[in-house]
């Protein structure tokens, strides 16, 4: 069978692609910010002196890391209404993505917290730092250094994972590829275009990570 690759056939759909790309971006950025916040809470729980909190934190991480995001999205979007939770598909996707990503973020942040010995905290308070000050000036800079590289990887993972929102009817890039592909029968072109969008997003994050890392840490070791 002859198939000629002609990008011109999908020109009419490029306007929709733009709004799709914005949806992918906004969904990813929101999910990243929210999951870092939730992940921090879970990471702190896992270091709590209370056993119950530690267990709850660990259980959360294990459940999220071992369950497919697709199933979590189905639970939030399709399962929500049966417990009285009716969500728009975008909100459901954001919640599912955030819950899932927080499991990974928690592990990254926990590793960062472990890397700072408690002695540092004690030394800072013996120097008259308040808890807030020792966190701000002593602990945080070191934690940030440790989590910087894995956090960058996770940001990329969230962008890629946001594609699953298309399955619950969010019109982002993957959904654009499927709809335009099946209306124009130009699956090869739409695949190439969608792949380029994700490639550009991911490689831009990668590049930004390396450049900002160089600026912040002034060393090749952490990149």
Residue 16 CB, shortest distance to another protein, in Å, is 16
SS3 percent helix, strand, coil of the chain, rounded to 5, is 85, 0, 15
Q: How far is the CB of 179 from another protein (least distance, A)?
A: 11
The single-letter DSSP state of residue 127 is T
Whether 171 contacts 22, CB under 8 Å: no
Q: Which is nearer to another protein, 65 or 136 (CB)?
A: 65
CB of 94 to another protein, least distance (A): 14
Alpha-carbon distances of 129 from 123, 142, 152, 199, rounded to whole Å: 9, 16, 31, 45
Query: Which residues sit at the interface with another protein, rule CB under 8 A?
Result: 1, 3, 62-63, 65-72, 74-75, 78-79, 82-83, 100-101, 104, 153-154, 156-158, 160-161, 163-164, 166-167, 173-174, 177-178, 181-182, 185, 187-188, 190-191, 194-195, 198-199, 202-203
Give the span between the Cα atoms of 28 and 159, in whole angstroms.
Answer: 5
- How far, in Å, are 128, 185, 187, 189 from residue 3 at the CA level? 73, 11, 11, 11
Check: CB of residue 140 under 8 Å from CB of residue 113. Answer: no
Q: Which is nearer to another protein, 38 or 164 (CB)?
A: 164
Least distance CB 191 / another protein (angstroms) = 4
CB of 142 to another protein, least distance (A): 21
- Could you give phi then psi for residue 202, rounded to 5 degrees? -65, -45
């Amino acid at each position: 069978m002859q198939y000629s690759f002609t990008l011109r056939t999908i020109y009419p759909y490029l306007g929709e692609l733009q709004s799709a790309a914005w949806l992918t971006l906004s969904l990813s950025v929101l999910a990243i910010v929210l999951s870092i916040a939730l992940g921090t809470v879970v990471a702190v729980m896992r270091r709590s002196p209370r056993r119950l909190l530690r267990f709850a934190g660990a259980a959360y991480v294990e459940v999220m890391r071992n369950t497919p995001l697709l199933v979590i999205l189905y639970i939030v979007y399709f399962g929500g209404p049966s417990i009285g939770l009716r969500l728009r598909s975008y909100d459901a996707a954001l919640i599912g993505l955030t819950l899932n990503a927080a499991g990974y973020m928690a592990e990254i942040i926990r590793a960062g917290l472990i890397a700072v010995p408690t002695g540092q905290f004690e030394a800072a308070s013996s120097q008259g730092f308040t808890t807030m000050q020792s966190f701000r000036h002593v602990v945080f800079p070191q934690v940030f250094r440790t989590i910087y590289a894995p956090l960058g990887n996770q940001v990329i993972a969230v962008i890629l994972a946001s594609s699953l929102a298309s399955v619950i009817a969010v019109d982002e890039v993957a959904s654009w590829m499927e709809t335009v592909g099946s209306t124009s029968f130009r699956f090869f072109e739409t695949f190439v275009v969608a792949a380029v969008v994700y490639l550009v997003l991911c490689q831009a994050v990668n590049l930004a990570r390396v450049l900002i890392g160089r600026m912040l840490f002034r060393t090749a070791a952490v990149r």
